[in-house]
């Protein structure tokens, strides 16, 4: 079977530096908040172009901590997409706020700003929960429409959090993902564009006050010293070993992001020339994707099944992100949504599937994969 994400090739290219970096942490003995963590935060904030970076234990913790720092909780409505990984809405519910789902744009799979506007209006009228924040997700690596989202948020005095778990390395105009809203959250889960060898995440903001709160929340709400607890927090730190790993991977990252552009362009061209009936990803003017996933839309569920079976027969893995939108998941049944509430998300869930995507896919392999799609 071909790898879906080729972490082994990446490791073999970085092996010497990687092993040296990890050994240095083991020998140095500063396993929690060692010097590599501070160094990584400096390098990440420079890379993203924001004043403050707070690393943390996962992308999920990044979202939870951001909501906690902003005091979002019980009685607050947080608008987000139902077509995302569960963590986005889970974080909202974890802090006691109410996820309010908004359907996606059919071309980008990201939250539809016009529908967001309508949902905020409806929420204000029915008064069930107080509109407080928006978490936009950069699905599959493509930034959401922050120009429109930030304008709506400014008008309505709402906080915007960018869920950049999948988009680290993407751009919108001259800004990087993670810097596209008031707070940006990302994940370093191994399969992400920038991944460590365990769980990890980071939060980005230009607001020094918010950054101080996040640093306190990351260590159980600590005050001036460790045993002064001024608020509630979590064990939210990134391990020093993971920071050391990320410092090595960051050196190769810009190149890898370029390689991902090559692979995405190669797929689009090969699918088009082969005349295969599939909707390939749209990248709106002014944006670039980090290509966490290369997701395509088949003409029907049956066509998806057929193509995925052909791929499997040729030892090519594929995956469905996401087969069931969040409003139909049992965990969110208490919100009272029904099938049919978000038709674009439901339709995408029924036809979408993802092809192998990583920086080390060469042209002959892309041709093999597309050949298998054609059958
Ligand atoms: C959109 C999105 N949000 C949040 C997360 C949560 O990140 P983590 O797995 O690091 O907790 C993920 C990834 O797993 C994700 O894809």
Cβ proximity of 121 and 152 under 8 Å: no
Task: Identify the burial level of 340 via C-beta atoms within 10 angstroms of its C-beta, where 0-12 means exposed, 13-18 middle and 19 or more buried.
Answer: exposed
Residue whose Cα lies nearest atom 10 of ligand 1: it is 59
Can you give the length of the chain in residues? 375
φ and ψ at residue 306, rounded to 5 degrees = -65, -45
What pLDDT digit, counting tens, does each position of 214-261 carry? 999 999 999 988 889 999 999 999 999 999 999 999 999 999 999 999
Distance of CA 84 from the midpoint of ligand 1 (Å)? 9
Structure tokens of 35?
A: 């010097």
Which one, of 188, 168, 192, lies nearest residue 178 by Cα? Answer: 168
Specify the 3-state DSSP secondary structure of 191: coil
Which one, of 155, 95, 99, 147, lies nearest residue 123 by Cα? Answer: 99
> Which ligand 1 atom sits closest to the C-alpha of 138?
1
Could you tell me if the CB of 345 is within 6 A of ligand 1? Answer: no
Residue whose Cα lies nearest atom 4 of ligand 1: it is 87
φ and ψ at residue 172, rounded to 5 degrees = -135, 110
Which one, of 34, 76, 70, 74, lies nearest residue 55 by Cα? Answer: 34
Distance of CA 196 from the midpoint of ligand 1 (Å)? 13
Could you tell me if the CB of 289 is within 6 A of ligand 1? Answer: no
Kindly state the average pLDDT of the residues 98-108: 98
CA distance 235 to 230: 15
Could you tell me if the CB of 238 is within 6 A of ligand 1? Answer: no
pLDDT at 148: 98
What pLDDT digit, counting tens, does each position of 64-83 carry? 999 999 999 999 999 999 99
Distance of CA 374 from the midpoint of ligand 1 (Å)? 32
Could you tell me if the CB of 210 is within 6 A of ligand 1? Answer: no
pLDDT at 226: 82
Distance of CA 162 from the midpoint of ligand 1 (Å)? 12
Could you tell me if the CB of 36 is within 6 A of ligand 1? Answer: no
> Which ligand 1 atom sits closest to the C-alpha of 200?
10
Could you tell me if the CB of 293 is within 6 A of ligand 1? Answer: no
Structure tokens of 79?
A: 């608008």
CA distance 3 to 8: 9
Kindly state the average pLDDT of the residues 113-123: 97
Kindly state the average pLDDT of the residues 31-38: 98
């Amino acid at each position: 079977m071909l790898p879906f994400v080729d972490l082994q090739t990446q490791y073999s290219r970085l092996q010497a530096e990687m092993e040296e970096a990890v050994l240095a942490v083991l020998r140095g003995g500063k396993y929690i908040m060692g010097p590599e963590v501070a160094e990584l935060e400096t390098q990440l904030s420079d890379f993203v172009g924001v004043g403050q970076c707070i690393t943390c234990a996962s992308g999920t913790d990044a979202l939870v901590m951001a909501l906690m720092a902003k005091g979002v909780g019980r009685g607050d409505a947080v608008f987000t997409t139902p077509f995302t990984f569960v963590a986005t809405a889970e974080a909202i519910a974890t802090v006691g706020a109410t996820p309010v789902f908004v359907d996606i744009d059919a071309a980008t799979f990201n939250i539809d700003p016009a529908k967001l506007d309508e949902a905020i209006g409806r929420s204000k009228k029915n008064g069930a929960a107080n509109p407080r924040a928006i978490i936009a997700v950069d699905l599959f690596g493509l930034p959401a429409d922050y120009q429109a989202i930030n304008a709506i948020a400014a008008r309505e005095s709402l906080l915007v959090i960018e869920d950049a778990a999948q988009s680290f390395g993407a751009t919108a105009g001259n800004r990087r993902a993670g810097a596209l809203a008031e707070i940006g959250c990302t994940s370093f889960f191994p399969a992400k564009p920038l991944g460590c060898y365990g769980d990890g995440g980071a939060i980005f903001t230009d607001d020094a006050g918010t950054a101080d709160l996040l640093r306190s929340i990351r260590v159980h709400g600590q005050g001036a010293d460790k045993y002064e607890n001024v608020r509630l927090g979590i064990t939210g730190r990134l391990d020093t070993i993971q920071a050391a790993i990320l410092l090595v991977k960051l050196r190769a990252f810009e190149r890898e992001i370029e390689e991902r552009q090559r692979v995405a362009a190669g797929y689009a061209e090969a699918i088009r020339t082969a005349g295969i009936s599939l909707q390939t990803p749209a990248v709106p003017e002014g944006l670039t994707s980090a290509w966490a996933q290369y997701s395509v839309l088949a003409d029907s569920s049956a066509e998806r099944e057929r193509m995925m079976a052909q791929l499997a027969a040729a030892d090519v893995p594929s995956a469905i992100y996401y087969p069931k939108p969040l409003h139909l998941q049992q965990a969110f049944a208490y919100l009272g949504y029904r099938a049919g509430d978000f038709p674009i998300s439901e339709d995408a869930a029924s036809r979408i599937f993802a092809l192998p995507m990583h920086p080390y896919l060469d042209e002959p392999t892309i041709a093999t994969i597309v050949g298998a799609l054609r059958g």
